[in-house]
Amino acid sequence: MASQSQKIVRGSQGEERSKRQERAHRILDAAAELVLRWGYKKTTIDDIAKQAKVAKGTIYLHWKNREDLFMTLFLREALVAGYEMFERMENDPEGFLFHNQTKHSIYVVKKRPLITALYLGDGDILGELLHSDHPMLMQLIQSKATASDELFELMRSKGLIRTDMSIRTQRYAYTAIIMGFLTVERYFPENLQAQYSISLEESVDTLGRTIQGILGPDEAIPLSALQEIKILFTQFYQQYLGVVKEQLQKEMDL
């Protein structure tokens, strides 16, 4: 069953979408499945066409080349993930506190292998795409970096994270913690994986508490501040998602 975020990106079943749009999503679905199975380097247009049950030439009616196709795929993944993150925050009474934003975001990242690959710069999956200077990728990276900077500024201004260290230091610590939580299991001895690993829910809860302990303010956050940050963050996040959605619509001619 499609989630609400997937319906926003792909359109709900009740909407009339053109065969071209349906076909584009089917091609992207096929590309997503194959790149996770074989990696970008080994996934060809022929493979994608066969998986999507379309002619090879049909794919070129949508995208000029394989790189454009995969950039659109990652753009779509980023948008779906973004909506899922926001849904989780919105459904949590304290979801817009910084450590809970992190908890919900990383939960979604861990549930979506392509987004995990983007976060970690996974060469096995992404291959030479990691070193691409494709304008779509550059725009996505720039939009994400700008959004991150603005988020830290917003959280600091409203007292949701501490201000006795620089944003640069906070961003460094935050990134180090996130990357550690995303990669820790690869450092467990193979024969002790089951013994050392914990559930995704427990992992992200632990992550949230860690972020709160290191970056959270010493004082309790008033309810009025939480309500204000929910309004401001919603405006901020919807603006960011709007930029990504606009680019996706442009690439897919939706």
183 and 81 both lie in a single domain: yes
22 and 121 both lie in a single domain: no
Q: What is the pLDDT of residue 14?
A: 44
79 and 44 both lie in a single domain: no
Using the 3D structure, point to which of 26, 45, 62 is the last residue of a domain: 62
44 and 158 both lie in a single domain: no
135 and 227 both lie in a single domain: yes
Residue 247: inside a domain? yes
pTM: 0.87
Mind listing the pLDDT tens digit of every residue in the chain (254 residues)?
A: 455 556 556 664 545 457 888 899 999 999 999 999 999 999 999 999 999 999 999 999 999 999 999 999 999 999 999 999 999 999 999 999 999 999 999 999 999 999 999 888 888 898 888 888 877 777 777 777 777 888 888 889 888 899 999 999 999 999 999 999 999 988 888 888 888 889 999 999 999 999 999 999 988 888 888 889 899 889 888 888 888 888 888 877 65
Total domains in the chain come to: 2
43 and 140 both lie in a single domain: no
| Structural tokens at position 218 | 């010493």
Residue 168: inside a domain? yes
Parent domain of 29: 17-62
**Three-state secondary structure readout of the chain:** CCCHHHHHHHCCCCCCCCHHHHHHHHHHHHHHHHHHHHCCCCCCHHHHHHHHCCCHHHHHHHCCCHHHHHHHHHHHHHHHHHHHHHHHHHCCCCCCCHHHHHHHHHHHHHHCHHHHHHHHCCHHHHHHHHHCCCHHHHHHHHHHHHHHHHHHHHHHHCCCCCCCCCHHHHHHHHHHHHHHHHHHHHHCCHHHHHHHCCCHHHHHHHHHHHHHHHHCCCCCCCHHHHHHHHHHHHHHHHHHHHHHHHHHHHHHCC
- CATH number of the structural domain spanning residue 25: 1.10.10.60
126 and 226 both lie in a single domain: yes
Q: What is the pLDDT of residue 104?
A: 97
161 and 236 both lie in a single domain: yes
Name the residue among 85, 232, 58, 75 with its Cα closest to residue 143.
Answer: 75
142 and 51 both lie in a single domain: no
Residue 10: inside a domain? no
Residue 84: inside a domain? yes
pLDDT in tens, 6-58: 655 666 454 545 788 889 999 999 999 999 999 999 999 999 999 999 999 99
Residue 12: inside a domain? no
Using the 3D structure, point to which of 62, 88, 117 is the last residue of a domain: 62
Residue 5: inside a domain? no
Residue 1: inside a domain? no
26 and 82 both lie in a single domain: no
Residue 11: inside a domain? no
132 and 247 both lie in a single domain: yes
Rounded CA gap, 76 and 252, in Å? 10
229 and 109 both lie in a single domain: yes
